[in-house]
Structure 1
Amino acid sequence: MGALNPIAFKLGPFLVHWYGIIIASGAVLGVLLAINETKRQRVSADDIYDLVFWALPIGLIGARIYYVIFEWQYYSQHLNEIIAIWQGGIAIYGGLIAGGITLIVFCRQRSLSVWQVLDVVTPGIMLGQVIGRWGNFVNQEAFGAAVSRSFLQQLHLPNFIVQQMYIGGAYHQPTFLYESVWNFVGLILLLSLRHKRGLFKRGEIALSYAIWYSFGRFFVEGMRTDSLYLFGQVRVSQLLSLIIFIVMLSIFVYRRKQQKASNYLID
């Protein structure tokens, strides 16, 4: 059995890629998860729909721009490929930065609490990431160093994953899977704990996600062979993960000391 076909089907002259289907599916399910939380958090579902209308496309553009900037040496010679996101090449951190800025502006215009809206949408973002990494799997990207087939089999992976990790004449570490599983574990923990009385304060769902994701991404990024680099030596996402981890953990601790008990999500 060879590698999976990245083309799902043809629609007239258009080719529909599995990558796009998977990314879109993750986005839709993430939105539904956020909408399901709006009543409990007393946030209007219409506000979330309106936010998604702006944040999703802007986040996607930001994710692509981020990637292109750090791969400019290539794209400067292939300008026609800049918009070819169906081939892969979108950076999660770029999307989170662009989407986060959009969310802040949106909340200010609607007089909404930024922290409250972040708490509502954060699990949906995590779910989107869990699913979206499988788009990298189909495209055979976001992988790690070469390993033996027996190494992959020792991880008790299904054969279709093992086979898809045969890239360029060698088997590779499925770092896409490591990150997807890490996010999935974090998502389950947040979904299990976020409604427990007296546990989380406003904004701590979002902060916990940022701390959890950046910690795991730091190590997964160190295993990847397709990292974006700064000055040719520093892995951009690894450096950014370290910064985010330190900053968000500091904010978490600071807010815990400053806020009153009345700020708990569920008293």
Structure 2
Amino acid sequence: MGTITIGLDPNIVQVGPLLLTWHGLFTALAILSAIWLASRELARKGIVIPNFDLVAILTVLGGVVGARLFFVLDHLSEYLRQPWRILAITEGGLAVYGGIIGGTLTAAFLLWRQRVPIGPVADAVAPGLLLAQGIGRIGCLINGDAWGGPCTCLVCSGVAASVPAEGLGYCPFALRYTNPKALLPPELLGVPTHPYPIYDMAVNFLVLAVLWRLRRRGLPDGSLFALYWLLYGIGRFLVSFVRQEAIWFLGLQQAQVVALTTALMGLVALLWLLRRRTPATAPARS
């Protein structure tokens, strides 16, 4: 119980116009880890994708564009005032769901063009996506661009005077950002906040553990990816209640609306895939 203070500068080093940030570093590590794990799973399944390197690069680009687009839409009023910042991705600001959707649509199109079955590839990629999402959250944890709401648990915070009255209540432990360059709102600087990035990281690794156990169980092609959308969607919806973001629809944040939508899509797809499995394709009983 208590507060974890994060005072690291979000920027690691700058040489001329080139800026290396913690967010950029862990985003790069996340992408490399996803490609590495996906390539291992593809090899295990005996799947060969023509021009794999090009497909991987274009999929990553599609994911980055989608991630930035979703983040900008979620903070539209801010970027309308400063439109030149839309391309400043080194500041942080990549929405996970935008990356998932942008990357998925890009990869699906490229695989369709090459007539590569999408279902088995999606199953091979799903664990890598979860690993990448978990690693990427480390950058968010350092720079504060995915912040939780203020925590009013005085046992955790120990600084009652600085906790806003509209805080979100009890938390098992809190994060407090002290570096002026942190990317959370200025009014939250030095204020104990819910450890949202850690919660989301935990969701990713828990879902990864489930998928890793099921990947050899002979499920219909596409089932693992559908289960990924379902389980991560449920987890993301729940942990987002401790975020401090603008309400988007029916009292929910953008991420929660998208999470519910993708979870429902995952559930429908999973049920459909399991129901259409014929006895001939079902795994033999031992």
Q: Indicate the TM-score class for this superposition, using the shorter chain for normalisation.
A: 0.7 to 0.9
Match of 2:164 in 1: none
Q: 1:110 to 1:264 in 2, by over 3 A?
A: farther
Letter in 1 for 2:230: I
**Where in structure 2 are the equivalents of 1:96-175 lying within 5 Å?**
96-147=100-151, 148=153, 150-151=155-156, 162-164=175-177, 167-175=188-196
Given the alignment of the two structures, is residue 211 of structure 1 paired with residue 230 of structure 2, yes or no? yes
TM-score by length of 1: 0.87
Q: Are 1:201 and 2:205 an aligned pair?
A: no
CA shift at 1:46, angstroms?
5.1
Cα drift, residue 257 of structure 1: 1.1
CA distance in structure 1 between the aligned counterparts of 2:284 and 2:156, rounded to whole angstroms? 46
Separation in 2, partners of 1:134, 1:2: 12
Query: Which is helix-richer, 1 or 2?
Result: 1
Tell me if the contact between 2:70 and 2:98 (Cα under 8 Å) persists in the aligned partners.
Answer: yes
Q: In the TM superposition, what whole-angstrom CA distance separates every residue of 1:12-54 from its partner, at most 9, and x where no partner exists?
A: 4422111100011011011100111122211126554332111
2:49 and 2:116 in contact (8 A); partners too: no
**Do 1:165 and 1:174's aligned partners in 2 also have CA atoms closer than 8 Å?**
no
Contact 1:107 1:114 in 2 (8 A): yes
Residue of 63, 79, 82 corresponding to 1:75: 79
C-alpha contact 1:59 1:99 (8 A) present in aligned 2: yes
1:10 has 2:28 as partner: no
Contact 2:222 2:273 in 1 (8 A): no
Q: How many residues align?
A: 261
For 2:242, which of 223, 238, 254 is the aligned residue?
A: 223
In structure 2, stretches of 5+ residues that fail to align are 159-169, 180-187
Deviates more, 1:77-86 or 1:44-53: 44-53
The two structures have a TM-score, normalised by structure 2, of: 0.82
Residue identity in the other structure for 1:235: Q
Question: How many angstroms does 1:251 deviate by?
Answer: 1.8
Q: CA deviation at 1:68?
A: 1.1
Shift in Å, 1:224: 0.3
Residue 235 (str. 1) matches residue 253 (str. 2): yes
Return closer, same or farther for 1:165/1:89 CA change in 2, 3 Å cut-off: same
Tell me, yes or no, if the aligned pair for 2:10 and 2:23 is still in contact at 8 Å: yes
Instruction: Report Cα offsets for 1:133-183 as digits up to 9, x if no partner.
Output: 1111111132222224743799887xxx84548942311101110010111
Identical-residue share of aligned pairs (%): 25
- How large is the Cα RMSD of the aligned pairs? 2.7
Tell me, in whole angstroms, the C-alpha distance in 2 between the residues paired with 1:111 and 1:139: 41
Residue deviations 1:180-228, cap 9 Å, x none? 01110111221133123x4x22111101111110000001112100x25
**CA positional deviation for 1:98:** 1.3
Residue type of the alignment partner of 1:219: L
Q: Contact 1:70 / 1:229 at 8 angstroms: preserved in 2?
A: no
Counterpart CA distance in 2 for 1:150 and 1:141 is: 25
1:251 matched to which residue of 2?
A: 269
In 2, the alpha carbon distance for the partners of 1:245 and 1:260 equals: 25
Amino acid at match of 1:209: Y
- Paired residues of 1:34 and 1:120 also in contact (CA < 8 A): yes
How far apart, in 1, do the equivalents of 2:284 and 2:29 lie? 31
The one-character-per-residue Cα deviations of 1:72-95 (angstroms, maximum 9, x if unpaired) are: 211111011111111111111111
1:190 partnered with 2:186: no
Distance 1:136 1:181 in 2: 14
Contact in 1 for aligned 2:215/2:224 (Cα 8 Å): yes
Where in structure 1 are there 5+ consecutive unaligned residues?
Answer: none
Whether contact under 8 Å (1:140, 1:165) holds in the other structure is no
Q: 1:262 to 1:93 in 2, by over 3 A?
A: farther
**In 1, are the aligned partners of 2:6 and 2:142 still within 8 Å (CA)?**
no
**Kept after mapping to 2: 8 A contact 1:228/1:237:** no
